[in-house]
Structure 1
């Protein structure tokens, strides 16, 4: 990792890495910027990509601060290869681990939005198990959705939707995001997700955690963020409730809060 003075960071470089083997091999798109640490790692949400407003704002802030930053697209998302319908929590975690090991050096702050909050918790657990060249400095979680395939999807689906997933193998879910096209929720996504549930026991990461949650979030209710905080150690965990905030938390004032949380840890 190179040292750089604020304002002197090089532009983010787009590259691709190969993840997986055989039929599951896919190319993962990564944008990385060298700089000083702690480095920043962006973990996006379900069906979102690294060119979203929050990810781009984080990258711009990192450039101004001379900070190292990495963002990437999971397989089947954005500029990465692979089919979205083939993706699972486990395969997207595999993407995240591969990017982290290839691009990160020294202490890192994981910044996860929605599904990316779940991914950050899973990646943090993997990092703790390994003695690699990079370590955890802290987590910033934005409307985090750990266990969403079970708690927010499966448990809330109607009997008709559950039957369709079980018999056809997928259900096309209507969307209010992106281009508004419906997208598949697969039986494999639901069933494989059960291998990665984290809310059933304590989550001890050994680093500071900052959580930002909108009280008006229609996708991840604020009670979900509360359930997560109860699983984290009490020391150095701060939950910020944004009373008029929605799920995106991408207004200028929301982004300012996110960046302030990152700055506080780093």
Structure 2
């Protein structure tokens, strides 16, 4: 099966890059992490699986990520990336979808499922990072970072995965608007499978477990890979991901 590529035009003129494999539904939709793109190991493994299994699969890059247009620093917010995910779901996916979200993509997947509950039949979340701007990132900003944010509205955060990347005051303030972890249950009732590394330095396993416990639905399975890192891209981790997607497809009808 071949993979088609295209770009979805957004109202402000920006274009969201996507790749799609046609096949049996529900469509598996990949939602990547913060500063990652749709060519990563997990996204590609799902594409290879979809071709062999004859399954419908769609992956895309948020604004300012990968092959999509848009300036990450000036336009990159949770609000915007949520809108990108909803536009992809509305315009490029027919019928129900199984959302597969990694890290920040787990948060975006939850927000999309809450906005389009009739479109989402199940979810698979890998090291999900809901509310990460407020609960994971802000507490770790050093004094010089706070000073830069106050003076310039942006801090260049060092990264273990490449060059430093900009964290803006706008991103942090906007992220707080979309907090889902609190006193109320997260209103998602579809089957959810969560894979989390016990040695993840970016998303503590207790944070992902908090999401699992907050989900309103009862069919939630939390799998802790004791020695797993944040990316969970080792061959054995990829095998777990594919098995979780298979299970989600069965559980979600």
Q: Give the TM-score taking structure 2 as reference length.
A: 0.95
- 1:33 equivalent to 2:21? Answer yes
Mapped partners of 2:216, 2:176: distance in 1: 23
From 42, 46, 62, the counterpart of 2:30? 42
Mapped partners of 1:154, 1:166: distance in 2: 13
1:213 — aligned with what?
196
From 81, 85, 101, the counterpart of 1:92? 81
Number of aligned pairs? Answer: 247
What is the root-mean-square deviation in Å for CA atoms of aligned residues?
1.1
Distance 1:234 1:35, change over 3 A: closer
1:186 — aligned with what?
168
Mapped partners of 2:115, 2:49: distance in 1: 27
- Equivalent residue of 1:174, what SS? strand
Mapped partners of 1:210, 1:126: distance in 2: 19
Q: Give the TM-score taking structure 1 as reference length.
A: 0.90
- 1:65 equivalent to 2:53? Answer yes
- Equivalent residue of 1:255, what SS? helix
Give, in angstroms, the shift of residue 185 of structure 1.
0.3
- 1:139 equivalent to 2:130? Answer no
From 4, 12, 16, the counterpart of 2:3? 12
2:238 — aligned with what?
255
From 163, 169, 185, the counterpart of 1:202? 185
- Equivalent residue of 1:261, what SS? helix
Give, in angstroms, the shift of residue 227 of structure 1.
1.1
1:240 — aligned with what?
223
Mapped partners of 2:106, 2:86: distance in 1: 14
Query: Which runs of 5 or more structure 1 residues have no equivalent in the other structure?
Result: 1-9
- Equivalent residue of 2:228, what SS? coil
From 75, 82, 85, the counterpart of 2:70? 82
Do the aligned residues in 2 keep the contact of 1:154 with 1:162 (CA within 8 Å)? no
Query: Which runs of 5 or more structure 2 residues have no equivalent in the other structure?
Result: none
Q: For residues 185-219 of structure 1, what are the alpha-carbon distances to aligned partners after superposition, in whole Å with 9 as ceiling and x for unaligned?
A: 00110011111111012112120000000000000
Give, in angstroms, the shift of residue 159 of structure 1.
3.2
Distance 1:35 1:223, change over 3 A: same
